[in-house]
A and B are shown apart, each in its own frame.
Chain A
Amino acid sequence: MPVEVPKEKWPGSVRTITLGALPAEGGTRKRVVTVGGETAMPFMHFEGEIPYPPVVAIEIKDRKPDDWSPLLLETWRDVIDDPAQWAAAAEEAGADLIVLALSLTNRDGNPTTPEEAVASVKAVLAATGVPLIVFGPGQAEADNALLVAVSEATKGERLALGICEDKNYRTIVATAMANGHLVTARTPMDVNLAKQLNILISDMGLPLDRILMDPTTGALGYGIEYGFSVMERLRLAALQGDKMTQLPMIVTPGFEAWKAKESKVGEGVPKAWGDWLNRAINWETLTAMTLVESGADIVVLRHPESVRRVKAAIDELMAAKAFVS
Chain B
Amino acid sequence: MSRYIATRAIRGANALVREAELMLKRALAEKGGAQKVAFPNTAYYLPLIYGMTGVAVEKLEDLVPVIEHAKRLLHPVPSEKMWTPYLGETLDSGMATLLAAETIEAIRFVYGLQPERMPGFTLAGGTAYPELDSPNNGRVGHLNGPIDDIQLRSWGIQLVDGRMPGFAAIVGAAKSNEVAVKIVRELQKRNILCFLSGNVNGRSIIHQLIEEGVELGYDTYTVPFGTDTISAIYALGFATRSALTFGGLKAGQAREILLYNRERVFAFVLALGEVDDLKYAAAAGAINFGFPVIADTVIPEILPTGVTKYEHVVSMPFNEIEGADDLERAERLVQKCIEVRGVKVKVAEVPVPVPYGSAFEGEVVRKNDMRVEFGGKHSRCFEYLYMAPNDEVVDGKVEVIGPTFDHIEPQGHMDMGIIVKVAGRQMQEDFEPVLERQIHYFINGASGIQHIGQRDIAWIRISNNAAEKGFKLEHFGKILHARYHSDFGAIVDKVQVTIITEPELLQQWLAKARAAYDYRNRRLADLTDEKVEEFYSCTLCQSFAPNHVCVISPERLGLCGAYNWLDCKASYNINPTGPNQPIKLGKVIDPVKGYWTGTNEYAKIGSHGVVQEVSMYSIMENPMTACGCFECIVMLIPEANGVMVVSREDPSMTPAGMTFSTLAGIAGGGLQTPGVMGVGKYFLLSPKFISADGGFKRVVWMSSILKEMMAEELKKVAEREGDPDLIDKIADERHVTTVDELLVWLEEHQHPVLSMEPMF
Contact with B along A171-213 (1 / 0, CB 8 A): 1011101100000000001111100100110011111000000
Q: How far is the CB of B573 from chain A (nearest CB, A)?
A: 16
Contact A148 B543 (CB under 8 A): no
Determine whether the beta carbon of A192 is less than 8 Å from that of B543: yes
Residues on A facing B (Cβ under 8 Å):
144, 148, 152, 170-171, 173-175, 177-178, 189-193, 196, 199-200, 203-207, 229, 233, 236-237, 240
Q: What are 8 A-B residue pairs whose CB atoms fall within 8 Å in the complex?
A: A171-B157, A171-B161, A174-B156, A189-B543, A190-B543, A191-B543, A193-B543, A229-B546
Chain B residues with Cβ below 8 Å from A191 are 542-543, 546
Give Cα A236 to B609, complex, Å: 11
Q: Establish whether residues A205 and B162, one from each chain, have CB atoms under 8 Å apart when the complex forms.
A: no
Residues of B within 8 A of A196 (CB): 577-578
The complex places the Cα of A144 from the Cα of B264 at a distance, in Å, of 20
Q: Does B247 contact A (CB under 8 A)?
A: yes
**Are A148 and B157 in contact, CB atoms less than 8 angstroms apart?**
yes
Known A-B contacts A177-B248, A205-B260; the reply to A199 vs B577 at CB < 8 A is yes
Contact residues in A for B160 (Cβ distance below 8 Å):
170-171, 173-174, 177, 204
* Closest A residue by C-beta to B249: A205
- Does B608 have its Cβ within 8 Å of any Cβ on chain A? yes
Annotate B590-608 by CB proximity to A: 1 below 8 A, 0 otherwise.
Answer: 0000000000000000001
Contacting residues, chain B, for A177 (C-beta < 8 A):
160, 245-248
Residue B153 at the chain A interface, CB threshold 8 Å = yes
In the complex, residue of chain A having the shortest beta-carbon distance to the beta carbon of B539: A192
Quick check: A207 and B579 within 8 Å, CB to CB?
Answer: no
Considering residues A170, A174, A200, A240, which has the most beta carbons from chain B within 10 angstroms of its beta carbon? Answer: A174
Question: Do residues B153 and A236 form an inter-chain contact, with CB atoms below 8 A?
Answer: no
Identify which of residues 729-749 in chain B touch chain A, using a CB-to-CB cut-off of 8 Å.
none
Q: Please, which residues of chain A bring their CB within 8 A of the CB of B245?
A: 177-178
* Smallest CB gap from B152: residue in A: A178
A235 to chain B, nearest CB (A): 12
Contact A205 B248 (CB under 8 A): yes
Q: Please give the distance in Å from A229's CB to the nearest CB on chain B.
A: 8
Given A192-B579, A205-B248, answer yes or no on A178-B157 (Cβ-Cβ < 8 Å).
Answer: yes
Contact indicator per residue, chain B 241-270, by CB within 8 Å of chain A (1) or not (0): 000011110000000000010001000000
**B162 contacts which chain A residues (CB < 8 A)?**
170
Instruction: Name A207's closest neighbour in chain B (CB-CB).
Output: B248
Which of B156, B260, B543, B608 has a CB less than 8 Å from the CB of A178? Answer: B156
> Which single residue of chain B is at the shortest CB-CB distance from A229?
B546
Give 8 nearest A-B pairs by CB, closest first: A170-B161, A174-B160, A171-B161, A190-B543, A174-B157, A199-B577, A178-B245, A205-B247
Q: B161 near A240 (CB under 8 angstroms)?
A: no
Which of B157, B163, B542, B577 gathers the greatest number of chain A CB atoms within 10 Å?
Answer: B157
Q: Is the CB of A206 within 8 A of B248?
A: yes
Q: Give the Cβ gap from B487 to chain A, nearest Cβ, in Å.
A: 15
Write the nearest CB–CB distance from B262 to chain A, whole angstroms: 14
Interface mask (B147-170 → A, CB under 8 Å = 1, otherwise 0): 000000100110011110000000
Q: Which residues of B contact A174 (CB under 8 A)?
A: 156-157, 160-161, 246
Kindly provide the distance from the CB of B21 to the nearest chain A CB, expressed in whole angstroms: 35
The reply to whether A205 and B609 form a contact with Cβ atoms under 8 Å apart is: no
Residues of B with C-beta under 8 A to A193: 543
Question: A205, B246: Cβ atoms under 8 Å?
Answer: yes
What chain A residues lie within 8 Å of B577 (beta carbons)?
196, 199-200, 203
- Taking CB atoms, residues of chain B closer than 8 Å to A203 are 577
Chain B positions 608 through 622: 1 when the CB is less than 8 Å from some CB of chain A, otherwise 0: 110000000000000
Give the distance in Å from the alpha carbon of A190 to the alpha carbon of B157 in the complex: 29
When the two chains form the complex, which single residue of B264, B546, B608 contacts A240, counting CB atoms closer than 8 Å? Answer: B608
Complex Cα distance, B245 from A191, in Å, reads: 31
B508 to A: closest C-beta gap in Å: 44
Bound together, the chains give a CA A240 to CA B604 distance in angstroms of: 11
